[in-house]
Structure 1
């Protein structure tokens, strides 16, 4: 397994939730894995890594504008890289990630990179507020196994039922409302 770079590719305030997931993924990948944010990455970071994993939240069913700008400026650096993505959407259904996944796949075709697939995670804004994160960890572990083997991967998870989602969401918003009083 070659060097792997995990890039937190959202806006600065969205990276907080992804940090924990990035560290778990790096732990499961074992080896020479580094984690950077889009705001501090430079050309040598891309050049020195064979596999790139973009982690980002979906914004209006597409890639965040800061990542699109980065992708446009750095097309030549992606040649012959293995690209994976971890896509977070605030919706329950992970199919909201499909457009972003397709955009990244087309980008890889254009830049002669190999798009190896994605892990789509639904309801990400509750990730730090619920006791069901073990399911996400298990899926991250399986995704890491695919990456280590350089296999294509297409995984998705929303880590609890729709009823649990509504119940936990209501708890979160009630607590947030009370804290503002």
Structure 2
């Protein structure tokens, strides 16, 4: 298996949740995997790895500006790399990730990289507050399996059914309301 680089491609404050997920993904990949953030990555980090996994949260359905800037300034480094993405959105529906996925796909085509697919994660801000962490782990395992086998991947996960999501949201707001009242 190739060397793999996971690039946390969000702003510093969003990297905490992604770093935990990157660590789990690294474990499931069972190979030579390194994790870097955009804030500390160097050209040699990309050059030494054949497979790149961009992990990033979206806002307004698009890639973060810091990642777009990195992509623009490092197009030559992506030549002939295999690229995957893990796209986090704060919305319940993962189809909010579609534009970001399309941008990354076109970027890979223009830089002669091989875009192999994605894992889209809905309502990512709830990852650390859900009783269904096993669902996240199982999906990360499936994604890691696709990467190890160098397969195309098109996975997504939403942690709750829509009714559960609404119920959890109502519990959160009721608790917040009570704490303000006291």
Task: Give TM class, smaller chain.
Answer: over 0.9
* TM-score normalised by structure 2 residue count: 0.95
Encode CA deviations 1:97-131: one digit per residue, 9 max, x unaligned.
00000000000000000000000010101111111
Match of 1:5 in 2: 5
Q: What TM-score, normalized to structure 1?
A: 0.96
| Matching of residues 59-78 of structure 1 within 5 Å | 59-78=59-78
Provide runs of 4+ in structure 1 moved above 3 Å.
172-177
Map of 1:14-163 to 2, 5 A cutoff? Answer: 14-163=14-163
Deviations 1:57-110 (A, max 9, x none): 011000000000000000000000000000001111100000000000000000
Shift of 1:174: 4.2
Q: Take 1:28 and 1:176, find their aligned partners in 2: how far apart are those partners?
A: 37
**What 5-or-longer segments of structure 2 have no aligned partner?**
none
Taking only aligned residues, the RMSD between alpha carbons, in angstroms, comes to 1.4
Aligned length: 181
| Uncovered stretches (5+) of structure 1, i.e. residues with no partner | none
Shift of 1:170: 2.8
Q: Contact 1:129–1:172 at 8 Å: present in 2 too?
A: no
Q: 1:180 to 1:42 in 2, by over 3 A?
A: farther
Helix, strand or coil at the partner of 1:127:
helix
Distance change (3 Å), C-alpha of 1:137 and 1:76: same
